[in-house]
Amino acid sequence: MPVGTQATVKALSPEEVKATGAQIILGNTYHLYLRPGCDIIGKFDGLHRFMNWDRPILTDSGGFQVFSLAKLRKLTEEGYAFQSHLDGSKHLFTPEKSIEVQIGLDSDIHMCLDQCLEYPTTHDQAIEALELTTRWAQRCKTHWQEKTNCRNNLFGIVQGGMYPDLRKRSAEEIIAIEFPGYAIGGLSVGEPKERMMEMASVTLPLLPEDRPRYVMGVGTPEDLVELVKMGADMFDCVMPTRNARNGQLFTEQGTINICNARFRGDENPVDLSCDCYTCRNYSLAYLRHLYTAREILAYRLNTIHNVHYYVNLVSCMREAILDGTFDSFRKAFYAKRKPSVT
């Protein structure tokens, strides 16, 4: 899922996002709730018409942004009390409120409010967060059932910090509540890569095979290949869009930095194997020129390529799984990559 934080995948029009092949995007509840606000988006009956995107949208619960952006946040059994990072206004995000806002946004997939943790945490802190996350998950489900009669979807989130025993316990508790899909939260929060992969490998096999399994906030192309191997189905990550705006482009051989002087007169596209709009029409030399001149078009063309790269990677993995050739796909993926191409 390309990330569309403020009701836009940064630098792209919805038509351009569609042309990359993306089937679903992510919207951030915290941002949209604060600005423009539910009253405005409500006038358009939700996010789809407001931003002119007619494919599915997943919204997060807002919890992670409250945790990472809001000022003076206070956590209680009831929910998160916080002040807006924009204007200091006071708000309370309860599990019910989060679902209410997501219903107003009319996203196709809502996420349960969970307690996010900093890294590292003690085992005791992780237990407390896990238990609160389970109680909140039940409240989210009850509210979603009452308000929507289970229209759209609500996913439960497994927490448990960096502790395998707690990941297992959280998975059992969240699965017992029963959701249309399941996510693994609390990864990619500053832990070493091996810990992240260990937690994913402990958790993914526990989640029901007949439901979507979503690893939140991850990751590099290599992460996606490894997590799909473990059984993950869905991801969201700002990497393709954010890195595009920082001049980092993904290719089959690895990532390149468009500022590199070796691209100054290069007539080739970013990736010879890529059939995105950018690669079909523009050279590395032109993209490097646009980027070094800080031209607005640079952000758009770079983002088109990176989002296309990610969407194409997952669709190739999907085809390989359906063909029963995932292992050879994975080998070929690594064989093409050169260490630190930049």
Chain contacts with Zn ion (rule: CB under 5 A): 274, 276, 278-279, 305
Q: Can 236 be counted among the known catalytic residues?
A: yes
CB of 251 to Zn ion, least distance (A): 8
Q: Can 60 be counted among the known catalytic residues?
A: yes
Letter string b/e over residues 183-219, b meaning 16 or more CB atoms within 10 A of that residue's CB? bbbbbbbebeeeebbebbbbbbebbeeebbbbbbbbb
For the CA atoms of 42, 47, 51, 52, the dihedral, rounded to the nearest 10 degrees, stands at: -100
CB of 223 to Zn ion, least distance (A): 20
Q: Which is nearer to Zn ion, 1 or 287 (CB)?
A: 287
- Residue 259: how many other CB atoms lie within 10 Å: 13
Q: Is 257 helix (H, G, I), strand (E, B) or coil?
A: strand
Phi first, then psi, for residue 245 (nearest 5°) are: -75, -15
- Contacts of 172-178 with CB under 8 Å at 24 or more apart are 172/206, 173/130, 173/134, 173/137, 174/133, 174/134, 174/137, 175/206, 175/207, 175/208, 177/134, 177/137, 177/138, 177/141, 178/141
Question: What's the CA gap between 64 and 216, in Å, rounded?
Answer: 11
- Residue 6 and residue 32 in contact, taking contact as beta carbons nearer than 8 Å: yes
CB of 274 to Zn ion, least distance (A): 3
Place of tokens 């029901």: 208
Q: Which DSSP helix (H) or strand (E) runs through 318?
A: helix 296-323
Q: Which is nearer to Zn ion, 157 or 274 (CB)?
A: 274
Q: Which is nearer to Zn ion, 94 or 278 (CB)?
A: 278
CB of 263 to Zn ion, least distance (A): 14
Helix (DSSP H) and strand (DSSP E) numbers for the chain: 15, 12
Question: What's the CA gap between 297 and 295, in Å, rounded?
Answer: 5
Nearest to 137 by CA among 90, 187, 172, 91: 172
CB of 280 to Zn ion, least distance (A): 8
For the CA atoms of 128, 132, 133, 135, the dihedral, rounded to the nearest 10 degrees, stands at: 140
Question: What's the CA gap between 191 and 189, in Å, rounded?
Answer: 6
DSSP state of 35: T
Question: What's the CA gap between 342 and 326, in Å, rounded?
Answer: 28
- Active-site hit among 106, 233, 236, 271: 236
Q: Which positions are annotated as active-site residues?
A: 60, 236
